Chain A
Amino acid sequence: SAVISQKPSRDICQRGTSLTIQCQVDSQVTMMFWYRQQPGQSLTLIATANQGSEATYESGFVIDKFPISRPNLTFSTLTVSNMSPEDSSIYLCSGTGQLKETQYFGPGTRLLVL
């Protein structure tokens, strides 16, 4: 299994600012992902964080809004740029070894944008 930590655990931000969320895994994982859960909605995949190259974004998400880095196999960051109140969500990172294996999640970052 993998233990995943995230920083910060929560934040309150002003609109127009940016926040970078860090995700650290205690062991090497093949794949890392970023999800968000808006109020009342399901967990939705934002992007796959690729080591040493540009992330792969899902439909509706773009790099300019959600730049992602993954410099090595155990660390990734997600930046929420030029925030608006609609970005208020829980942001989670996850990691997995191989296909069909358990995907482990961090505890989430609770973001409120005023």
Chain B
Amino acid sequence: ILNVEQSPQSLHVQEGDSTNFTCSFPSSNFYALHWYRWETAKSPEALFVMTLNGDEKKKGRISATLNTKEGYSYLYIKGSQPEDSATYLCAFNTGTASKLTFGTGTRLQVTL
């Protein structure tokens, strides 16, 4: 059974703060690691697909790093804004027909 863990479970920050979340996954049979941003009543929005150890990806104020040897990925948000409030999900892919195993997510709330 694959186990993907995310921490913290929830986070409440002030506007302008920078923050980061952790995703832990099995280091064996790694194929790809996905990050999603999910707002209530909307489709989960794909942020990054990461495949290589040491990968670093950036999209605006959001960036992510990947360590496949030790089985973790970090997601960073620089200068948080209220519109960043959402649940951030990571998902692990072993390469078996694109099936994703998700963590339970980190719920971020950014207030003024």
Contact = CB atoms under 8 A, between A and B. Distances in A.
Bind each other: yes
Interface of A: 4, 9, 31, 33, 35, 40-45, 48, 56, 58, 92, 96, 98-108
B10 to A, nearest CB: 12
A35 B105 CA distance: 15
Contacts of B89: 42-43
B102 A107 contact: no
A103 B32 CA distance: 12
Contact of B31 (A4, A100, A105): A100
A17 B49 CA distance: 39
Q: Is the interface of B mostly helix, strand, loop or mixed?
A: loop
A27 B32 CA distance: 23
Given A105-B43, A105-B44, A107-B41, A44 B102 contact: yes
Contacts of A103: 34, 46, 91, 98, 100
Interface string B1-15: 000100000000000
B34 A33 contact: no
Contact of A33 (B44, B99, B105): B99
Contact of A45 (B32, B51, B100, B103): B100
Interface in B1-41: 4, 31-32, 34, 36, 41
A44 B102 CA distance: 7
Given A92-B44, A103-B34, A42 B98 contact: no
Contacts of A58: 99
A45 B93 contact: no
The 6 A-B pairs of least Cβ separation, nearest first, read: A43-B102, A42-B104, A105-B44, A102-B46, A42-B102, A107-B43
A19 B99 CA distance: 25
B98 A31 contact: yes
Contacts of A104: 43, 46
